[in-house]
Amino acid sequence: MRLRNLIGFIHPRAAVVLHDLAMVTLAWWLAKVLRYALMGDVSGAPFVAAEFVIVLAVQGATFVWTGLYRGLWRFASLPDLWNIVRAAVIGALTIGVLLFLYNRLATVPRSVLVIYPLLLILLLGLPRLAFRFWKDSRLDLFQAAPAQRVLVLGAGRAGEALARDLRRDSRYRVVGFIDDSNALRGARLHDIPVLGDIEHLGEIARESAAQMLLIAMPSANSAQMRRIVTRCEACGLPFRTVPRLEDVVAGRAQFNELKEVAIEDLLGRDAVQLDWTAIREGIAGRSVLITGGGGSIGSELCRQVTRLGAAALTIVDSCEYNLYRIAHEISASDPGLRLRPLLGDCGDAVAVERAFVQARPDVVFHAAAYKHVPLLEEQLREAVRNNVLATETVAAAADRHRCAGLVLISTDKAVNPTSVMGACKRLAELVVQAHATRSATRCITVRFGNVLDSAGSVVPLFREQIARGGPLTVTHPEVTRYFMTIPEACQLILQAAVQGRGGEIFALDMGEPVRIRDLAEQMIRLAGKQPGRDVAIVYTGLRPGEKLFEELFHPQENYAPTVHAKLFLAQPRALEPQQLDAALREARAAVDTFDEEALRRMLGRLLPAFQPGHADALPPPLPAMILQGDSA
């Protein structure tokens, strides 16, 4: 019993080192014995203590230098054998040089330096391979079919829970954990060892013969996820991840549900810290009306408003299917909510008036808009009618019915607009600001950039193109855009809605802009392919109305921080009320007569940055170029 306790106190690594040093001693002694025996000297080799000290010191240092102890006997494989070969050969050469300097090899025949590394390779390699064969044979006796060997990245609570669940799944065998915590190095969870850190993932994956990598770090931020995914991609093994904490909390995923890593996991930012008390007080028990409620932003606003305890929700949308889909989802999640889906166009003043009479909303979120930049370049009348005049119709209705608040969902393309879409959204901002000065309704504008995975955005387009085998179409190698996730954008919209006093333009902190070329390459790699080799990237040139980069503020807006770290306040650049009213009258007349030239003149007069009808003002389109190699 005492002997067993003593052995238990010996660290497994220390036992391996002692074994290897014993094998070094045996190999050196056997090499000398064999050499003298072959020469017919039956008296045997002379024993020289200093000689053995040099051999042990040199060979031990060589083992550490070659990384022999980063692997485990349980997972011994060809990389371990290669390390043994390197250590034996380098050790023998170094020993020979030192013994020559010590005593001119007086007690060591030259042939010993040839026999010794061969014996050492056998004495170190055979026990390791035998131990692995024995362990694998024991496990295979209890498994009907060979299980897939997996490494779990993350030895925290999520990793421990995932490993515990996988023990009950015969398809997987967890062979080890990977974790950067030094405190966990050499530890065991459920008798599964922590093998090392993320930096050595490739080496550990080879040594452990892993077949899949499972990322169990739900609290990792996007920068950490990018680092982890880069290491996983370098291994060439398939990898999956558990959902992010915010997805689990929001009910969009189960805690230990395995899924492919999505681009949102790499481009999203740290979780938004919101004043949920103020938000809930502003929404709970209120009647809320959301225009464009079937769209990407509108539907997520519907979900979050429902979860915040709204008493009634009216959804207005012109797309029948989108309206049906979100209404069905909301009614299933909260059967007690007074839900009113209304099919209608916000440009229809009669329909809008009817919606406000029925809903009597306290808060209105105006998300209905056309947003596809190149398409709207040829649809000026519809862009003005839907994005400008419909906004005026909704804002006027909110004023007449004394709504507490109106929030316009705007875009970064409204800053120095060069496109029809941006110009119309900028004019919509001016409409809401004008109402803020003469209405009891708190009229607020929230401006942000591109939303990941929203309908018509670049992410779903790239997914479709990858599924077809490519190519992925990128307008320009240097084009950049701001991105945020749909839930994050909607949460910040709600924060701005309760924080604003009326007349403000809030801009959301979009983080750093993302180069679309990098986004395309990353999505190709996440699909298990290589850019240029498996899926090409074609550069097509900037389309009408597009810019190389977007801006969140105009230089004259003098933006300033607010009490919330991710909300900034822009100083409104208001228009004279008479000038705006005259422009709206001109726009209505031009829409009624389909006079797009008059609309272009009106926008160009109000917005100096907008150059109507000057496609040649854009950078010249690139010739079609195809990325032939991975340039990441």
Beta-ladder partners of 443: 406
494 compared with 621, residue with greater pLDDT: 494
Radius of gyration (Cα) for the chain, nearest Å? 34
Q: What is the mean pLDDT of residues 41-67?
A: 75
pTM for the structure as a whole:
0.64
3 state DSSP class of 337: coil
Q: What is the mean pLDDT of residues 358-381?
A: 92
Query: 299 is written with which tokens?
Result: 């539907």
pLDDT at 2: 43
pLDDT-derived band at 248, boundaries 50, 70, 90: low
250 compared with 463, residue with greater pLDDT: 463
Query: 329 is written with which tokens?
Result: 């989802």
pLDDT at 456: 60
Residue 326 confidence (pLDDT) above 80: yes
Q: What is the mean pLDDT of residues 301-328?
A: 94
Beta-ladder partners of 178: 153, 196
What is the β-pairing status of strands 537-539 and 625-627?
antiparallel
- Residues 437, 529: contact at Cβ < 8 Å? no
- Residues 603, 591: contact at Cβ < 8 Å? no
Query: 27 is written with which tokens?
Result: 């190999």
pLDDT at 355: 95
Measured distance CA(32)–CA(114) in Å, rounded? 11
- Taking alpha carbons only, the member of 371, 368, 391 closest to residue 379 is 371
Q: What is the mean pLDDT of residues 57-69?
A: 80
Highest mean pLDDT among 96-105, 194-203, 311-320: 311-320
Measured distance CA(270)–CA(520) in Å, rounded? 22
Residue indicated by tokens 């990237």: 537
630 compared with 123, residue with greater pLDDT: 123
Measured distance CA(75)–CA(176) in Å, rounded? 10
Q: Map out the domains of the chain with their CATH numbers.
A: 2-140 (no CATH), 148-261 (3.40.50.720), 276-617 (3.40.50.720)
50 compared with 244, residue with greater pLDDT: 50
Measured distance CA(200)–CA(153) in Å, rounded? 12
pLDDT at 473: 87
When mean pLDDT is compared across 137-146, 345-354, 484-493, 554-563, the lowest value belongs to 137-146
Measured distance CA(461)–CA(459) in Å, rounded? 5
Residue 356 confidence (pLDDT) above 90: yes
**Other CB atoms within 10 Å distance of the CB of residue 549:** 12
Residue 488 confidence (pLDDT) above 70: yes
pLDDT at 622: 36
Residue indicated by tokens 């090409």: 536
pLDDT-derived band at 623, boundaries 50, 70, 90: very low
- Residues 311, 362: contact at Cβ < 8 Å? no
Q: What is the mean pLDDT of residues 94-107?
A: 79
The arrangement of strands across the sheet holding 472-474 comes to 472-474, 537-539, 625-627
Determine what percent of the chain falls in helix, strand and coil, rounding each to the nearest 5: 50, 15, 35
pLDDT-derived band at 331, boundaries 50, 70, 90: very high
What is the β-pairing status of strands 450-451 and 287-291?
unpaired
pLDDT at 6: 38
**Other CB atoms within 10 Å distance of the CB of residue 411:** 26
Query: 267 is written with which tokens?
Result: 């481009």
Residue 428 confidence (pLDDT) above 70: yes
pLDDT-derived band at 626, boundaries 50, 70, 90: very low
Alpha carbon distances (Å) from 125 to 87, 118, 122, 233, 368: 12, 11, 5, 30, 69
Residue 284 confidence (pLDDT) above 50: yes
3 state DSSP class of 313: strand
555 DSSP assignment: G
**Other CB atoms within 10 Å distance of the CB of residue 418:** 20
| pLDDT mean across residues, the chain | 79
- Residues 76, 129: contact at Cβ < 8 Å? yes
Measured distance CA(75)–CA(376) in Å, rounded? 60
- Taking alpha carbons only, the member of 105, 21, 12 closest to residue 57 is 21
Q: What is the pLDDT of residues 564-598, one digit of tens each?
A: 767 777 776 667 888 889 999 999 999 999 999 99
Q: What is the pLDDT of residues 505-556, one digit of tens each?
A: 888 776 677 788 888 888 888 777 788 778 888 888 877 766 676 665 555 5
Measured distance CA(163)–CA(178) in Å, rounded? 12
pLDDT at 402: 93
**Secondary structure of 348-371 in the HEC alphabet?**
CHHHHHHHHHHHCCCEEEECCCCC
Q: What is the mean pLDDT of residues 13-40?
A: 79
Alpha carbon distances (Å) from 451 to 188, 198, 242, 483, 615: 42, 31, 22, 5, 26
Kindly state the helix (H) or strand (E) to which residue 153 belongs, with its residue range. Answer: strand 148-153
pLDDT-derived band at 136, boundaries 50, 70, 90: low
pLDDT at 362: 95
pLDDT at 609: 74
Biggest alpha carbon distance in the chain?
A: 117
Query: 315 is written with which tokens?
Result: 């959804």
Residue 361 confidence (pLDDT) above 80: yes
What is the β-pairing status of strands 405-411 and 363-366?
parallel
How many angstroms from the chain centroid is the CA of residue 367?
Answer: 26
Residue 394 confidence (pLDDT) above 90: yes
261 DSSP assignment: P
pLDDT at 10: 44
Measured distance CA(13)–CA(11) in Å, rounded? 5
What share of the chain has pLDDT > 90, as a percent?
25
Q: What is the pLDDT of residues 452-480, one digit of tens each?
A: 666 666 777 888 888 888 788 888 888 87
Query: 282 is written with which tokens?
Result: 């502003």
When mean pLDDT is compared across 261-265, 385-389, 489-493, 556-560, the lowest value belongs to 556-560
What is the β-pairing status of strands 560-561 and 567-570?
antiparallel
Q: Which ranges in 39-156 belong to alpha helices (H)?
A: 49-65, 78-103, 112-140
Query: 177 is written with which tokens?
Result: 């954990």
Beta-ladder partners of 444: 407
Alpha carbon distances (Å) from 119 to 40, 77, 240, 300, 629: 20, 19, 43, 68, 47
